[in-house]
Amino acid sequence: MFEFVLLGNPLWKWVIAIAVTVGVTGFLKVAQRLAVSRLRVLTRRTKSTVDDMFVDMLAGTKLFLLFIVACDVGIRFLILSPTVAHVFDRITVAAVLLQGGFWGAHVIRYLIGVWMKSPEGDEASVHASGALGVIANILLWALLLLLFLDNLGFDVTALITGLGIGGIAVALAVQNILSDLFASLSIVLDKPFLVGDAITVDEFAGTVEHIGLKTTRVRSYSGEQIVISNNDLLKSRIRNFKRMEERRVLSLYTVSLDLGGDILAAVPSMLREAVNEAPPARFDRAHLRDITPAGIVFELVYYIPSPDFNLFMECRQNVHIAVVKRFAQAGVPFARPRPIWDQGAA
Render pLDDT for 194-232 as a digit per residue (tens, 0 to 9): 888 888 888 888 888 888 778 889 998 888 999 988 888
Residues 6 or more apart from 132 whose CB is under 8 A from it? Answer: 112, 185
Reported as type and span, the H/E element at residue 62 is none
Q: How far apart are CA 39 and CA 65, in angstroms?
A: 21
Q: Average pLDDT for residues 46-56, to the nearest whole number?
A: 80
Task: Give yes or no for residue 298 having a pLDDT over 80.
Answer: yes
Q: Do residues 199 and 239 touch, judged by C-beta distance below 8 A?
A: yes
The pLDDT of residue 1 is 52
Averaged pLDDT, 127-135:
69
For 122-127+154-242, CATH number out of 1.10.3720.10, 3.40.50.620, 2.30.30.60, 3.40.50.2300 equals 2.30.30.60
- What percentage of the chain reaches a pLDDT higher than 90? 20
With bands split at pLDDT 50, 70 and 90, how would you rate the model's confidence at 296?
very high
What residues contact residue 53 under an 8 Å CB cut-off, 6+ apart? 106, 107, 110
* pLDDT score of 301 more than 90: yes
- Contact predicate 301/288, CB 8 Å: no
pLDDT at 129 over 80: no
* CB-based burial, 115-149: b 16+ in 10 Å, e otherwise: beeeeeebebbebbbeebbeebeeebeeebebbbe
Domain parsing of the chain, residue ranges: 5-118, 122-127+154-242, 247-344
CA dihedral 208, 210, 211, 215 (to 10 degrees): -100
Mean pLDDT of the chain: 81
Residues 6+ apart with CB under 8 A from 210: 124, 195, 216, 217
Q: What is the mean pLDDT of residues 75-92?
A: 77
CATH architecture of 247-344: 2-Layer Sandwich (3.30)
> Which is it for strands 204-211 and 295-304: parallel, antiparallel or unpaired?
unpaired
pTM of the model: 0.52
At 283, the pLDDT band (50, 70, 90 cuts) reads: very high
Q: Average of pLDDT values for 314-318?
A: 93
Rounded to the nearest 10 degrees, how much is the dihedral formed by the CA atoms of 7, 10, 13, 15? 90
Phi, psi torsion values for 304, nearest 5 degrees: -115, 110
Q: What average pLDDT score do residues 262-279 get? A: 93
Tell me the C-alpha to C-alpha distance, in Å, between residue 148 and each of 99, 166, 172, 255.
Answer: 12, 21, 29, 85
**Amino acid letter for position 20:** V
Q: What is the mean pLDDT of residues 244-269?
A: 90
